[in-house]
Amino acid sequence: MPESILVVGGAGYIGSHMVQQLVRAGFTVAVADDLSSGRREAVRGAALHVGDIGDAAFVEQVLRALRPAAVMHFASFIQVGESVADPGKYYRNNVGATQVLLDGMRAHGIDRFIFSSTAAIFGDPQYVPIDEAHPKAPINPYGRSKWFVEQMLEDYDRAYGLKSVCLRYFNAAGADPEGALGECHEPETHLIPLVLQVASNRRPHITVYGEDYPTADGTCIRDYIHVEDLCQAHLLALRQLLAGGESARYNLGNGNGYSVREVIAAARRVTGHPIPVQIGARRAGDPPVLVADASAARRVLGWQPRYADLDTILAHAWAWERRHAEWRR
């Protein structure tokens, strides 16, 4: 019988792509999601349990019904600005609810956990590319909430033997190459979908926040990783844990930095749209450069990104945006 996996937040952007990969890999999959930002229709080939993982009774019900071999956790609030304005919301959900989930797992003897972490735990980089040894100094409540969970997982491993892999994303982007799934946040805050919304005439222009950074063209540089490649790393990490592997932490990115202007230029190539630009003020907390050193994931997990090219990432996201724009008309 195939092993069962619980995907928390499996109706969201990355979680739904993960569910699709798990189903294709032959796992029995269930999703727990409160649908506050996820979409019911994004859950394909898996049972959906609607509820809040901060609710111990809901967690108990789902874990008792499924008895999963492992839990993969994608259910977090992710907006940096909102975390600064309302830190309590982020600590309640990202930290408190995760502890409820972990304690439920302990009660049922489930001791394998994959955690969706973030490059925000590093704060302003002291050097790039950023490897796993880089100092952790998050500069906003979102990053701190993720770093708290990583530290909590270290404690749960030492005390209870709960094994975990934390995967620290840089900038997830792109969409299912077959067009079934894609990025659909409301409100949208990520650069690539915002640029593509301009190309599909859902927005009049893209705002570039700051053009005076110490970079070649004055705009911030980020490392974009295709959501399918991201999920492939999760699948490899899951297999590692299921095979008896120890807890681990990996940075995930392509190791290639692209500036905001370079992303816009690539989007113009891919879409054929002029994509008007307006210049805005810098946003607080935006480091000039964030680029990953993912050599550990490549070496230990055998991870090899398939869609590292920026134009390919944009092309998949553009196919999704055109379809999504049609749905909204």
Tens-place pLDDT, residues 13-25: 999 999 999 999 9
Question: 4-172+224-252 in CATH: which number?
Answer: 3.40.50.720
Question: What are the E-state strand segments in the chain?
Answer: 4-8, 28-33, 47-50, 70-73, 112-118, 163-169, 171-173, 206-209, 221-226, 248-252, 257-259, 277-280, 289-290
What one-character-per-residue DSSP string does 21-68 give?
HHHHTT-EEEEEE--SSS-GGG--SSEEEES-TT-HHHHHHHHHHH--
For residue 326, what pLDDT band results from cuts at 50, 70 and 90? low
Residue 81 has pLDDT above 90, yes or no: no
Spatial distance between the Cα atoms of 306 and 119, rounded to a whole number of angstroms: 21
Spatial distance between the Cα atoms of 141 and 294, rounded to a whole number of angstroms: 25
Contacts of 135 (CB under 8 A, 6+ apart): 122, 123, 126
- For residue 329, the model assigns a pLDDT of 41
For residue 130, what pLDDT band results from cuts at 50, 70 and 90? very high
Mean pLDDT score, 169-194? 87
Spatial distance between the Cα atoms of 121 and 142, rounded to a whole number of angstroms: 8
Query: Percent of the chain beyond pLDDT 70?
Result: 98
Residue 33 has pLDDT above 80, yes or no: yes
Q: Where in the chain is the domain with CATH 3.90.25.10?
A: 174-223+255-290+307-328
Give the residue numbers annotated as catalytic, written as ranges: 142
For residue 185, what pLDDT band results from cuts at 50, 70 and 90? low
Q: Which CATH superfamily is domain 174-223+255-290+307-328 in?
A: UDP-galactose 4-epimerase, domain 1 (3.90.25.10)
* 193 in Cβ contact with 317 (< 8 Å): yes
Q: Where in the chain is the domain with CATH 3.40.50.720?
A: 4-172+224-252
